Amino acid sequence: MSSSQEEKYGGRKRSLTTKLLIAFLLAALLPLTIISIYQLYIGADLLEQRAIEELDLLSLGVAGRFDQLLDDNQIAAIQLSSDPSVVGILKTPDDEAALELVNWRFKEILNSNPYYEYIYLMDAEGTSLVSQQLDGLPSVVGNVFRDRHYFINAREGKPHIDALVGRVSKKLGFYFTSPVYGDYNQVIGVAAIKVQGEAVTEMINAFNEKSGSVSAFLADFDGVVVSAPEDKPSWQLKGLAELSPVVQEMVEERFVMDTPLSYIGIPELAVLVDNKSGVTSYKDAEEGAAYIVGYKQTEKIEWIVGVSMSSNVFLSSIYDLAIQTGIGATSLAILVVIAAILLARGIARPISKLAAAAQDVEDHKPFAPEDISDVMSLKDEVGHLARVFSDMVLSLRARMAELQTIYEIGHKISSSVELTDTLSDVIDSLGNVVDFDAAEICLYDDRDKDLELYVTNVEIMSDDETVEKITYNPKKDYFPRLFTDSHGLIVDSIAEYTDKKLTTKRSWDAFDPKSYLGVGLRNRGRVVGTIEMISSQLNGFNEDNRRILESISIQAAVAISNAQEVKERERRLMNMEIVVDDSRVDDEISSVTQSGFFKQLKKRVSDRKKE
What type of residue sits at position 283? K
Instruction: Using CB atoms within 10 Å of the CB of residue 47, give its burial: 0 to 12 exposed, 13 to 18 middle, 19+ buried.
Output: middle
Q: Which residues make Cβ contacts (< 8 Å) with residue 48, sequence separation at least 6?
A: 314
In a domain, 602, yes or no: no
Instruction: Say yes or no: 309 and 421 in one domain.
Output: no
Computed on alpha carbons and rounded to an integer, the radius of gyration of the chain in Å comes to: 63
In a domain, 386, yes or no: no
Instruction: Say yes or no: 305 and 184 in one domain.
Output: yes
Which residues of the chain are under the pLDDT cut of 70? Answer: 1-16, 24, 28, 36, 39-40, 43-44, 46-48, 208-212, 313-319, 321, 398, 401-417, 462-467, 570-571, 574-611
Rounded Cα distance, 121 and 107, in Å: 13
Instruction: Say yes or no: 440 and 554 in one domain.
Output: yes
Q: Into how many domains does the chain fold?
A: 2
The sign of the torsion formed by the CA atoms of 319, 325, 327, 330 equals negative
Rounded Cα distance, 304 and 298, in Å: 6
Task: Tell how many helices (H) and how many strands (E) occur in the chain.
Answer: 15, 16
Q: Which residues make Cβ contacts (< 8 Å) with residue 364, sequence separation at least 6?
A: none
* CA 408 to each of CA 11, 401, 413: distance values in angstroms, whole numbers, following the listed order: 42, 10, 9
Instruction: Say yes or no: 194 and 73 in one domain.
Output: yes
In a domain, 1, yes or no: no
Q: Which domain holds residue 524?
A: 416-570
Per-residue pLDDT, 193:
95
Instruction: Say yes or no: 122 and 262 in one domain.
Output: yes
> Which residue from 465, 474, 419, 467 is spatially nearest to 446, judged by alpha carbons?
474
> Which residue from 533, 576, 575, 556 is spatially nearest to 419, judged by alpha carbons?
556
The secondary structure of 538-607 as a DSSP string is: TT---HHHHHHHHHHHHHHHHHHHHHHHHHHHHHHHHHHHHHHHHHHHHHHHHHHHTSHHHHHHHHHHHH
Asked if 515 contacts 534 with a C-beta cutoff of 8 angstroms, the reply is yes
In a domain, 115, yes or no: yes
Question: Structure pTM?
Answer: 0.50
Secondary structure of residue 408 in the 3-state scheme: helix
Instruction: Say yes or no: 91 and 210 in one domain.
Output: yes
In a domain, 598, yes or no: no
Of the residues 263, 294, 313, the one at which a domain ends: 313
In a domain, 227, yes or no: yes
Per-residue pLDDT, 276:
82
Asked if 85 contacts 103 with a C-beta cutoff of 8 angstroms, the reply is no
Q: Which residues make Cβ contacts (< 8 Å) with residue 30, sequence separation at least 6?
A: none
Rounded Cα distance, 335 and 565, in Å: 81
Rounded Cα distance, 295 and 344, in Å: 58
Per-residue pLDDT, 9:
47
Give the CATH number for residue 565: 3.30.450.40
Rounded Cα distance, 333 and 261, in Å: 60
In a domain, 85, yes or no: yes
Instruction: Using CB atoms within 10 Å of the CB of residue 331, give its burial: 0 to 12 exposed, 13 to 18 middle, 19+ buried.
Output: exposed
* Residues pairing with 518 in the sheet: 489, 532
Q: How many residues can be counted in the chain?
A: 611
Instruction: Say yes or no: 298 and 425 in one domain.
Output: no
Instruction: Say yes or no: 95 and 211 in one domain.
Output: yes
Instruction: Say yes or no: 301 and 428 in one domain.
Output: no
Strands 116-123 and 160-165: unpaired
The sign of the torsion formed by the CA atoms of 460, 465, 470, 474 equals positive
Of the residues 263, 293, 313, the one at which a domain ends: 313
Of the residues 278, 296, 313, the one at which a domain ends: 313
Give the CATH number for residue 291: 3.30.450.20
In a domain, 337, yes or no: no
* Chain center to CA of 410: 60
